[in-house]
Chain A
Amino acid sequence: MNKKYLLAPAALAAALGLALSGCASGGDAAPGELQIDVPDVPQLDALGDTEDEVNILAWSGFVEPAWTDQFTADTGCAVNRKIFATSDEAVQLMRTGEYDLVSASGDASLRLIVDGNVQPLNTELIPNFSDDIVEGMKGQLYDTLNGNVYGIPIGRGANILQYNGDEVTEEPTSWDVVWEADSPYAGKIAAYDSPIYIADAAIYLMATQPELGIENPYALDEEQLAAATELLKQQNGMVSEYWNPATNITSFTGGNSVVGTSWEVLRKATGDEKFKSVLPEEGSTGWSDAWMLAADAQHPNCAYAWMDYTSSPEVNGQIAMNFGMAPANGAFCETSDEAREHCDYYNATNEEYFEKVWFWTTPIDQCLDGRTDVQCTNYQDWTNAWATVKG
């Protein structure tokens, strides 16, 4: 086994440990833990009567009549849904103050917390937020800050390496097939079209260039960002297409791409068994979504009711199956054969699998890996760097 590859899980475990220890100490940060200045927003102490509606900002597939109708019947809260397409759009919409809840991904949540757009949550008011929530989804750095819980987990997934089994006959075990200049698949490589894809380059550099000292792909100082950008520029010449969810599927089925990053849900949507997926030895990026409550929510009681309702094994499982991701509530996996199959497929309770996954996190000036002797690059720096990659 490659020694370098052990670095990623070790660092992740360390980061997790830090976050979890902060969680356990109940608000008082442990010494040395990452502390970020955030506006002081009070949390709700007790629930009142439910209002008559709740306004939810959600990823497509998270809020559907199949389970909202029951919620409305149970609580009297009508559900108003607004779909967003990107995390950046979600952040902008949340700041209008018109929404109570958002299904935020890790790359949005830090921004929302630090800008004071969302409030800390009182988990005692959410009974379904219990031990059944899978270990890896509790106390993550991006939704638990300074000892406060800001997000109720919904589900997670890894950004896998997808390949066309007809063209790539030997299962790739490393990301080198998409990064190295001598890749036999040059010109047929699909890359994700977002600045956050820089983290994928950083993960490969963690394994191949340890002298750069990257400990966390979302905590890059200027030198490390430059190295990642350099790697991306080298890849640019070999990329068949920078994909987004609308173009990924036809990029593979159309034959333009034979290997590259993808999501399980998109791989399945190709509807062809020859498209396979693997989590390479270096690990990968991934995403993890959580409900977050607006700081000045107009309907907090309905919102709390919604967070509790969707954290139950049944409803959480329905969302996960509908969207194609690993559910947050592990108890769902025991409810039926179909559920077990779904959980196995998405590695829902396989923490060993997700230990290799670096969930999307907003890069900020303060180094998320705990370094204090250097300033890290923020997401704006990443966005600018991304434009130079695609130059």
Chain B
Amino acid sequence: MNTQTVLERRPKPLSTALYRHPKGRLASLLTLPMTWLVGVYILSLALLLITAFWTTDPFTSRVKPGFTLENFQQLFSVPAYFATAMRTLGIALAVTVICAVFSVPLAVFMVKIAGPRLRALLAVLVTLPLWAGYLVKIIAMRLVWTENGFFNWSLSPVGVEGPGFGVVAVILTLVYLWFPYMAIPVYAAVSQIPANLFDASSDLGASGFRTIRTVVAPLLLPSLIAGSVFTFSLSLGDYIAAMYVGGSTQMIGSIIAQNINLNPPLAAAFSVVPIVLVVIYLAAVRRTGALNNL
């Protein structure tokens, strides 16, 4: 008996229906992701943003619907809030720059100089932090930076003292946490640069530095920007690092965490700050065309 004919004769109502109704086909493809995106993500984000215009009963901390711009006004009128927002922005930029500065030479070394075994080893080392949980890493970093911690223990004999808890420790900890997110795209970009571009540049009389500036840098820029989106936005929202290694440092996330139960509208208004900063950053980045490759 011919199996082909059996298959042809078997009724397939679902496939037939989907074939006949293109809209149904589309719906079946998009329903699940769209429910997630709209229902879970965008809707809850919108609800949060609406709360930013509401008020809180000062005694019972109950949120009351209404309309006030006072919460947003406070972001600018209270010097401590504004200073905290600026400090957080500075930390995020510093983390991003340090990650970028570290990852370029590392990627160049891994691709152009290291042998296959060393390259594999380095790749494992770079991604190693991703294997551990976030809190585990933060607490490990806390132990590194304490007065009697690993850093001072290993380097104080040669006269180097750790920074102690504070802004510097927060920046270094965040660099440690987010470095793989920058290093991996940069490594991928470097490995895609054909070797003959270097030869061509050299044949045309360019110095090594000029080759890096005019050939390598433009090719790496998109990956640096892609990586920076991660390092920048993740740093803006972080508050656990400030809590564990910040000493007396306060970040935007600290204020949100402090107010999330007591004054949710103020916390909601504050959570708009990183959103706005990231949107501005993405808009600036989009003009470079780097996001087209993501």
Co-complex (A, B) = yes
User: A256-B147, A387-B80 are contacts. A381–B164 as well, Cβ < 8 Å?
Assistant: no
Partner of A254, one of B61, B148, B259, B261: B148
Q: Do residues B59 and A388 form an inter-chain contact, with CB atoms below 8 A?
A: no
Q: Let me know if A130 is at the binding interface, CB within 8 A.
A: no
Question: A residues within 8 A CB of B243?
Answer: 193, 244, 247
The answer to whether B147 touches A111, judged by C-beta atoms less than 8 angstroms apart, is no
Q: Answer whether A111 and B164 are a contact pair too, CB < 8 Å, given A387-B250, A388-B78.
A: no
Name A90-130 residues within 8 Å CB distance of B. 91-92, 95, 111, 114-115
> What residue of chain A has the Cβ atom nearest to residue B83's Cβ?
A391
B261 with A86: CB separation less than 8 A: yes
Point out the residues of chain B lying under 8 angstroms from A80, CB to CB. none
Q: How many residues of A contact B (CB 8 A)?
A: 40
Residue of A253, A256, A388 with most partner-chain B CB within 10 A: A256
Task: Give the distance in Å from the alpha carbon of A89 to the alpha carbon of B165 in the complex.
Answer: 28
Given contacts A244-B243, A254-B148, A384-B78, contact A239 B58 (CB under 8 A): no
User: In the complex, how many angstroms separate the beta carbon of B145 from the nearest chain A beta carbon?
Assistant: 9
Q: In the complex, which residues of chain A have a beta carbon less than 8 angstroms from the beta carbon of B58?
A: 365, 378-381
A213 at the interface (CB under 8 A from B): no
Task: Report Cα–Cα, A115/B60, bound state, in Å.
Answer: 6
**In contact, A111 and B79 (Cβ under 8 angstroms):** no
A250 at the interface (CB under 8 A from B): yes
Does B201 make an interface contact (CB < 8 A)?
no
Q: Check B59 against A391 for contact (C-beta < 8 Å).
A: no
State whether B262 touches A379 (Cβ < 8 A): yes
CB-CB under 8 A for A255 and B142, given A240-B247, A387-B80? no
Q: Is the CB of A387 within 8 A of B258?
A: yes
Q: Knowing A88-B261, A244-B243, A380-B263, say if A111 contacts B60 (CB, 8 Å).
A: yes
Query: CB of B255 within 8 A of chain A?
Result: yes
Q: Are B261 and A89 in contact (CB under 8 A)?
A: yes
Tell me, in angstroms, the Cα distance from A364 to B59 when the chains sit together: 6
In the bound complex, residues from chain B placing their C-beta under 8 Å from that of A111 are: 59-61
A195 to B255, CA, bound (A): 12
Interface residues of B in 61-112 (CB under 8 A from A): 61-62, 78-81, 83-84
- B228: chain A residues at CB < 8 Å are none
Taking the complex as formed, is A163 at the interface, i.e. its CB lies under 8 A from any CB of chain B? no
- Whether B271 is near chain A, meaning CB under 8 Å from some CB there, is no
Contact of A391 among B79, B142, B165, B259 (CB under 8 A): B79
* Contacts known (A239-B247, A378-B59, A380-B61); A387 close to B81, Cβ less than 8 A: yes
Residue-wise, chain B 45-67 has the 8 Å CB interface mask toward A (1 for contact) of 00000000000101111100000
Q: A162 at interface (Cβ–Cβ under 8 A)? A: no
For A91, list chain B residues within 8 Å (CB): 61, 261
Contact of B146 among A115, A255, A378, A391 (CB under 8 A): A255
Most B CB within 10 A of own CB, among A91, A242, A362: A242
A241 interfacial contact with B, CB 8 Å: yes
B291 at the interface (CB under 8 A from A): no
Contact partners of A391 in chain B: CB under 8 A: 79-80, 83-84, 250
Which residues from A are CB-within-8-Å of B83?
391
Tell me the residues in window 319-342 of chain A with beta carbons closer than 8 Å to chain B beta carbons: none
The reply on A236 being an interface residue by CB < 8 A is: yes
Residues of A within 8 A of B84 (CB): 387, 391
Contacts of B165 in A (CB 8 A): 240-241, 256
Within the assembled complex, what's the spacing in Å between the Cα atoms of A39 and B164?
51
Chain A residue contacts of B60, Cβ below 8 A: 111, 114-115
A89–B254 Cα gap in the complex (Å)? 16
Give chain A residues whose Cβ lies under 8 Å from the Cβ of B115: none
Interface: B248 (CB within 8 A)? yes
**Are A383 and B258 in contact, with the CB atoms below 8 A?**
yes
Q: Are B247 and A241 in contact (CB under 8 A)?
A: yes
Q: Which of A239, A378, A391 has the most CB of B within 10 A?
A: A391
Q: How far in angstroms is the closest Cβ of chain B from A226?
A: 14
Please indicate the chain A residues that have their CB under 8 angstroms from the CB of B78 in the complex.
Answer: 384, 387-388
Name the residue among B61, B62, B79 with the largest chain A CB count within 10 angstroms. Answer: B61
5 A-B pairs with CB atoms under 8 Å apart are A256-B164, A380-B263, A386-B258, A388-B80, A391-B80
Enumerate chain B interface residues (CB-CB to A < 8 A): 56, 58-62, 78-81, 83-84, 142-143, 146-149, 164-165, 243-244, 247-248, 250, 254-255, 258-259, 261-263
